[in-house]
């Protein structure tokens, strides 16, 4: 409660500039999405052999065997247009448009496009992670989790307001999430689908390598229809 000091009056509080993180459970697509993405992970493991060979050369065989693929991630090529992921791709695209529309933006003037839609699996030897980042030039970002449990990595979101971050103070209870928390984490299950605004910095906690950790990451950009239409005319 916002109480004044002298007269103990309660002030009206207007909380503004909040940041939504949306979650929904879609377990029904997990097994087919794992099956569909197996080939991409296999291809990535194959293409990563070159990097692992370089690592081996740099470290020497003895030290290489201590770490192998520790800290790496197996990233796929774009999944867009894969017929086995069509329903998921359409669902994410349409939902992203809906979210921007719900925020009050005039989406009649815009069309959503995927800029990134890829699968990744963290290293078998553990250490897989992503440091804090945003995917610039996008409006909606998100994840669909395929392989994870309470022993694997998980996403952490940071307060996107740079000014707010600069003026934070330590919390009395660090476990308690408040409007002034500087970060929040989610422990996903296979099938957890998360959407968030593209400006939200996010990271992935260091994975211990106990169980496989695989997820699809996506970013979408709203492009003005006038640009889309002009581009069509230029073909
Ligand atoms: Fe990301």
Q: Is residue 100 part of a domain?
A: yes
* Centre of ligand 1 from the C-alpha of residue 155, in Å: 9
Strand order in the sheet with 155-158: 130-133, 202-204, 155-158, 183-185
* Centre of ligand 1 from the C-alpha of residue 198, in Å: 9
What does the pLDDT look like over 15-65, one tens digit per residue? Answer: 999 999 999 999 999 999 999 999 999 999 999 999 999 999 999 999 999
* Centre of ligand 1 from the C-alpha of residue 137, in Å: 13
Q: Is residue 12 part of a domain?
A: no
> 206, 234, 56, 212: which is closest to 121 by C-alpha?
212
Residue 220: give the domain boundaries.
22-167+181-234
* Centre of ligand 1 from the C-alpha of residue 202, in Å: 6
* Centre of ligand 1 from the C-alpha of residue 119, in Å: 11
Q: Is residue 14 part of a domain?
A: no
What does the pLDDT look like over 161-199, one tens digit per residue? Answer: 999 999 999 999 988 999 999 999 999 999 999 999 999
Q: Is the pTM of this model over 0.85?
A: yes
Q: What element of type H or E holds 138?
A: none
pLDDT at 235: 65
What does the pLDDT look like over 116-127, one tens digit per residue? Answer: 999 999 999 999
* Centre of ligand 1 from the C-alpha of residue 133, in Å: 6
Specify the number of domains making up the chain.
Answer: 1
CA 176 to chain centre: 23
92: phi then psi, degrees, rounded to nearest 5: -65, -45
Q: Is residue 220 part of a domain?
A: yes
| CATH number of the domain that residue 93 is part of | 2.60.120.620
Q: List Cα–Cα distances, 145 to 25, 93, 119, in angstroms.
A: 10, 17, 10
> 98, 114, 99, 70: which is closest to 223 by C-alpha?
114
Q: Is residue 7 part of a domain?
A: no
Q: Is residue 112 part of a domain?
A: yes
What does the pLDDT look like over 16-29, one tens digit per residue? Answer: 999 999 999 999 99
* Centre of ligand 1 from the C-alpha of residue 144, in Å: 12
* Centre of ligand 1 from the C-alpha of residue 138, in Å: 11
pLDDT at 46: 97
């Amino acid at each position: 409660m916002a109480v004044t000091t002298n007269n103990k009056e309660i002030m009206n509080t207007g909380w503004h500039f909040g940041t939504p993180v949306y979650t929904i459970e879609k377990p029904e697509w997990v097994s087919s999405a794992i099956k569909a993405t197996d080939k991409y992970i296999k291809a990535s493991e194959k293409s990563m052999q070159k990097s692992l060979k370089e690592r081996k050369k740099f470290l020497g065989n003895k030290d290489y065997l201590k770490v192998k693929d520790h800290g790496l991630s197996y990233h796929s090529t774009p999944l867009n247009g894969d017929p086995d992921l069509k329903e998921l791709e359409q669902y994410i695209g349409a939902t992203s448009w809906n979210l921007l529309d719900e925020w009050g933006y005039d989406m009649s003037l815009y069309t959503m496009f995927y800029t990134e839609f890829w699968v990744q699996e963290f290293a078998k030897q553990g250490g897989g992670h992503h440091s804090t980042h945003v995917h610039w030039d996008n409006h909606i970002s998100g994840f669909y989790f395929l392989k994870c449990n309470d022993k694997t990595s998980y996403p952490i979101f940071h307060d996107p307001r740079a000014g707010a971050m600069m003026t934070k103070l330590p919390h009395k209870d660090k476990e308690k999430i408040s409007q002034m928390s500087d970060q929040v984490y989610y422990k996903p299950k296979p099938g957890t689908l998360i959407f968030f605004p593209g400006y939200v910095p996010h990271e992935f906690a260091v994975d211990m390598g106990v169980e496989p950790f695989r997820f699809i990451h996506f970013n979408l950009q709203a492009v003005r229809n006038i640009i889309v239409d002009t581009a069509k005319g230029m073909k």
